[in-house]
């Protein structure tokens, strides 16, 4: 089972890398592509139609501004689609956030927040979906959470030692 991360532009990629790191840490196979709902609409549809045959089960769609990518992908698949609104200037991501969440009834897109947490949470949400039918992944996810909790506890201990 794989995750497909689509981004509207290569300019989105640096902010998406933390999400890909999460997928790698959890041992989730992925494909990552620059495909634009506006600039390469036919390529988006071709990708979405063919991806399930290669094992893709969740789509992550990152786009900024007039962010239509997640909606277009959802219109062409019955698999789960998670939109990642990119926090581009000049509106700081509010435009992409509203474009992503305000889908008409019948064409579902789940959305994560704009900003640094978005790509990470999108990857984690995809992991939770895939873990429903993958016990090994569920265990890796649980281990990752324990490590994260331990990291916070270490930071707290470091802070206490400075006070």
In the chain, which ranges are continuous DSSP H helix? 13-25, 41-50, 69-75, 94-101, 117-131, 135-162
Distances (CA, A) of 102 to 51, 59, 106, 126, 160: 25, 18, 12, 21, 44
Q: Rounded CA gap, 20 and 108, in Å?
A: 23
The pair of structure tokens assigned to 106 is 């019948």
Instruction: Establish if 63 lies at the interface with ligand RP5 (CB under 6 A).
Output: yes
Residue number, 8 or 130, with CB nearest to ligand RP5: 8
Which range touches ligand RP5 (CB under 6 A), out of 21-29, 62-70, 105-113, 129-137? 62-70
Instruction: Establish if 65 lies at the interface with ligand RP5 (CB under 6 A).
Output: yes
Binding mask 75-114 for ligand RP5 (x = CB under 6 A): -----------x-x--------------------------
Where do contacts with ligand RP5 occur on this chain (CB under 6 A)? 7-9, 11-12, 36, 63-65, 86, 88
């Amino acid at each position: 089972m794989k995750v497909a991360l689509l981004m509207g532009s290569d300019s989105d990629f640096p902010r998406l890398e933390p999400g890909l790191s999460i997928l790698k840490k959890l041992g989730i196979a992925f494909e990552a592509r620059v495909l634009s709902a506006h600039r390469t609409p036919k390529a988006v549809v071709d990708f979405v139609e063919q991806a399930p045959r290669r094992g893709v089960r969740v789509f992550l769609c990152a786009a900024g501004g007039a962010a239509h990518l997640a909606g277009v992908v959802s219109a062409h698949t019955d698999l789960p689609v998670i939109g990642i609104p990119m926090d581009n200037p000049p509106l700081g991501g509010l435009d992409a956030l509203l474009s992503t969440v305000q889908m008409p009834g019948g064409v579902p897109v789940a959305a994560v927040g704009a900003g640094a947490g978005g790509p990470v949470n999108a990857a984690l949400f995809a992991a939770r979906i895939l873990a429903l039918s993958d016990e090994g992944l569920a265990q890796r996810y649980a281990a990752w959470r324990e490590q994260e909790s331990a990291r916070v506890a270490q930071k707290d201990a470091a802070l206490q030692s400075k006070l």
